[in-house]
Structures are given as structure tokens and as C-alpha cells.
Amino acid sequence: AQSVTQPDIHITVSEGASLELRCNYSYGATPYLFWYVQSPGQGLQLLLKYFSGDTLVQGIKGFEAEFKRSQSSFNLRKPSVHWSDAAEYFCALSGGSYIPTFGRGTSLIVHP
Amino acid sequence: DTAVSQTPKYLVTQMGNDKSIKCEQNLGHDTMYWYKQDSKKFLKIMFSYNNKELIINETVPNRFSPKSPDKAHLNLHINSLELGDSAVYFCASSQFSGAEETQYFGPGTRLLVL
């Protein structure tokens, strides 16, 4: 069975500070991993994804994520957060069954 | 030029009613999905269609019936609505049905069952 854990329900950062959102997964092989962002009242939008190659993946809006097989993690980072980054962030995994599994989401709050 | 659109955006109805949610994508994608997002933001896949054929059918009550008249449309019909059906329903599409595919989400339909 595959699973995704986002241990932080809420994260609060000050504008301009760095950000790291945690994602751990459980899957028997190399998974396809995604980070999506959901702004209030909107659908999800892909930030970045990993399925092979370089373990450091660059995405849109200045986000990056690093795949660490030894830690079963795919943490999302941004060096300097903007107020417009306040949103819900979802980590997702897709494996051989094509059925995607989403984490519970992490709500990012940005203080001015 | 909305890529994935859903109607209606909000739906308030009484228990026991039957309702439909419509979804259309203009991306030329082959695969479409329905997701349910509950009040705790958990997002769970319900169905997926690839070129009008059902390929994913998760454990969903048979009161929920998807219909895909063509590959650009995937509608969701719900019979005998229950309080627990209250949620946000998202439609999504991807170019193909592979695990590596990016999904493009609609804005969601907020269903409230009274």
C-alpha cells in the first residue's frame, strides 16, 4: 500500500523568511512525487514533480523540492516566502496502480 | 479560457435529492478524474475515465455514478444525497492515464446537504 504523510497541519512564517514543508511517503519502489498548491476557493495547481533523474527539482513560483530515498522524503522549500504564498500545500504520490494518494495538506500562514 | 471547468460552483440541497455536477476540459486530455475533498481537506480519488472508459473506481457508494459522454466531459450524478456527501468535489484531467501525469484541477463544486 502507498501512503503520504505531511506531519505539519499548519506552518506559520514571516514574509521573507525561508520555508520548508515536510512530506514523507511509503511505497515499495521509486514513486512519482508531486507537490500541488491550493489557494482559497480554488482547485489544485502543480508546483513541481519528480519521477527520475536529478533529486533536486525546480518548480514554479520559486519552489524546489528534494527527493531523498534514504529518508523516504520529498520536502518542499522556498528561500523567501511572499504573502501570496499563503495557501494549502499537498504532497502526492503515484505508483504503478496510477491511483494517486494525497497527503492531508499543510496550511501555510504568512505574517507580514 | 478556463482549462477545467465545473458547474455548479455551489450546490445546496436537501437529503434524499438527486443532483448532478458537470465537468468539461478544453485541454484535449484523454483522462479525467473526480475527487472528493472532505472538511479536513483530505483529498481522495473517486473515479477516473480514460477516453470515456472507466479505469479507476475506488470504494464509492453506488449512489455515485460518473458518466463520460465524450473525452472532454465527465459528469457526476449523485442519487439519494446524504449528509455525509457534503464536501468539495473536484474534477481533474491529465493528458494520459500514466502515474507520472500532471493533473489539472477544476475550481471545485461545494456541495452542502441539509
pLDDT (tens digit per residue) in B10-69: 999 999 999 999 999 999 999 999 999 999 889 999 999 988 888 888 878 999 999 999
If one counts every other C-beta atom within 10 angstroms of the C-beta of residue B71, the result is 18
Record: contact B45-A100, CB cut-off 8 A: yes
Record: contact A94-B100, CB cut-off 8 A: yes
Record: contact B90-A88, CB cut-off 8 A: no
Using a 10 angstrom Cβ sphere, with 0-12 exposed, 13-18 middle and 19 or more buried, the burial of residue B34 is buried
Query: Residue B1 — very low, low, confident or very high, per pLDDT cuts 50/70/90?
Result: low
Place of cell 478544453: B26
Q: What is the pLDDT of residue B56?
A: 84
Record: contact B90-A44, CB cut-off 8 A: yes
Query: Residue A2 — very low, low, confident or very high, per pLDDT cuts 50/70/90?
Result: confident
Q: What is the pLDDT of residue A96?
A: 72
* Average pLDDT estimate for B99-108: 90
Pick from B76, B92, B88: nearest CA to B25: B92
- Residues of chain A contacting residue B56, judged by C-beta atoms under 8 Å apart: 98-99
The radius of gyration computed from the CA coordinates of chain B, to the nearest angstrom, equals: 13
Pick from A55, A36, A48: nearest CA to A108: A36
Query: Residue B75 — very low, low, confident or very high, per pLDDT cuts 50/70/90?
Result: very high
Q: Which three cell numbers stand for residue B7?
A: 458547474
- Residues of chain A contacting residue B48, judged by C-beta atoms under 8 Å apart: 98
| Chain A residue with minimum CA distance to B97 | A98
Q: For A42-78, how does the pLDDT look when each residue is reduced to its tens digit (9 = 90+)?
A: 899 999 999 888 899 999 999 999 999 999 999 999 9
